[in-house]
Amino acid sequence: MDGITPDLIILQLFTGLALGAIYVLLALGMSLLFGMLTVVNFAHGAFYMLGAYIGIVLLGIGLNFWMCLLFVPLVVGSLGLLAERFLIRPLYGRGIDYPLLLTFGLSYMMVECVRIVFGTQGLPFDTPELLQGASDIGIGYFPTYRLFVIGVAAMVLVLLWLFLERTPYGLIIRAGARDPQIVRILGIDVGRVWLVVFGIGTGLAALAGLLAAPLQGASPEMGNSILAEAFVVTVVGGMGSLVGAVIAGLLVGVVVSMTSLFQPEMAQVSIFALMAVVLLIRPQGFFGRAGLMS
């Protein structure tokens, strides 16, 4: 273990947090969709990928990266609204597997459409100029962009929390998650609430994709492998739990970056080993309610 200093470990910890921030955004969206709509979105990876590509399109028509941060989630979230309204809505009440299967087919189509429009090869995605280089974080230099990713994720978390806990609309969403029947009896159109939630969830996935693009470029398949990782995060954190998504996301990010420091070839496997351990000890995940899933 030559050359591994405490500083290096701390830097790697930050790298893990940046990676974890992306997982958090993905898993938050996924948990929202599951907690509120009981939809497991297999197209979540595809919406993530779409985020990166819509980012490329918007940059191409002259918007800057900062505007993209706002508009990419809006554009992709609107596509999510369409998907919910026309494809998923007819399936409510028909068993939990059907939305899952449908979104799987949808992801197939989305990936192929992106291949048709943008080609099968991946595209590069430049880090915005202001965020290039490294900043001093006290113990060493750390890529500015990764710090930025952590910051954006933290900000989104705060906004989402404020929205869900402090606004009347958030109250309706939380009530709808607990008991849609009662909410409907109180005269609220639950269908519309679900529509909005689906838009938020897919918008979050798109934001994660946009943030990940400068780190790894954009490719039609980028959503495929991250989908499994996002599943691990939601399973470890407990499905439907937003706090769980945040903690598990960061934990998985740190575990990946730490194993890639000490045992690079085990990095991908470590995520799944972590999940196996959690499943053995606590099948419902950190913050999952037992019996919720049956």
**Minimal distance in Å, beta carbon 136 to other proteins?**
35
Please state, in angstroms and rounded to a whole number, the distance separating the CA atoms of residues 168 and 286: 28
Nearer to other proteins, 211 or 236 (CB): 236
**Minimal distance in Å, beta carbon 107 to other proteins?**
8
Among 92, 104, 118, 161, interactor with other proteins by CB under 8 A: 104
- If one asks whether residue 119 binds other proteins (CB under 8 A), the answer comes out as no
- If one asks whether residue 255 binds other proteins (CB under 8 A), the answer comes out as no
DSSP notation for 182-224:
HHHHTT--HHHHHHHHHHHHHHHHHHHHHHHHHHH-B-TTHHH
Are 26 and 48 a contacting pair, CB within 8 Å? Answer: yes
Among 67, 109, 158, 159, interactor with other proteins by CB under 8 A: 109
Please state, in angstroms and rounded to a whole number, the distance separating the CA atoms of residues 230 and 252: 10
- If one asks whether residue 117 binds other proteins (CB under 8 A), the answer comes out as no
Are 34 and 234 a contacting pair, CB within 8 Å? Answer: yes
**Minimal distance in Å, beta carbon 263 to other proteins?**
11
- Find the radius of gyration of the CA atoms of the chain: 19
Nearer to other proteins, 106 or 207 (CB): 106
Binding mask 48-67 for other proteins (x = CB under 8 A): --------------------
- If one asks whether residue 81 binds other proteins (CB under 8 A), the answer comes out as no
Among 7, 70, 105, 216, interactor with other proteins by CB under 8 A: 105
Contacts of residue 268, defined as CB under 8 A and 6 or more positions apart, other chains included, come to 256
Among 1, 60, 94, 121, interactor with other proteins by CB under 8 A: 94
**Which class for 224: exposed (0-12), middle (13-18), buried (19 or more C-beta within 10 A)?**
middle
Hey, which residues between 222 and 241 contact other proteins (CB under 8 A)? 224-225, 227-228, 231-232, 234-235, 239
Phi, psi of 135 (to 5 degrees): -115, 155
Hey, which residues between 30 and 49 contact other proteins (CB under 8 A)? 34, 38, 40
**Minimal distance in Å, beta carbon 74 to other proteins?**
25
Among 126, 159, 283, 289, interactor with other proteins by CB under 8 A: 283
257-292 as b/e: b if 16+ CB within 10 A? bbbbbeeeeebeebbeebbeebeeeeebbbbbeeee
DSSP notation for 104-130:
HHHHHHHHHHHHHHH-SS-B--PPPGG
- If one asks whether residue 87 binds other proteins (CB under 8 A), the answer comes out as yes
Residue 167, both tokens: 């606004």
- If one asks whether residue 90 binds other proteins (CB under 8 A), the answer comes out as yes
- If one asks whether residue 112 binds other proteins (CB under 8 A), the answer comes out as yes
Among 7, 97, 179, 189, interactor with other proteins by CB under 8 A: 97
- If one asks whether residue 133 binds other proteins (CB under 8 A), the answer comes out as no
- Binding interface with other proteins (CB under 8 A): 34, 38, 40, 87, 90-91, 94, 96-98, 100-102, 104-109, 111-113, 115-116, 224-225, 227-228, 231-232, 234-235, 239, 265-266, 268-269, 271-273, 275-276, 279-280, 283, 293-294
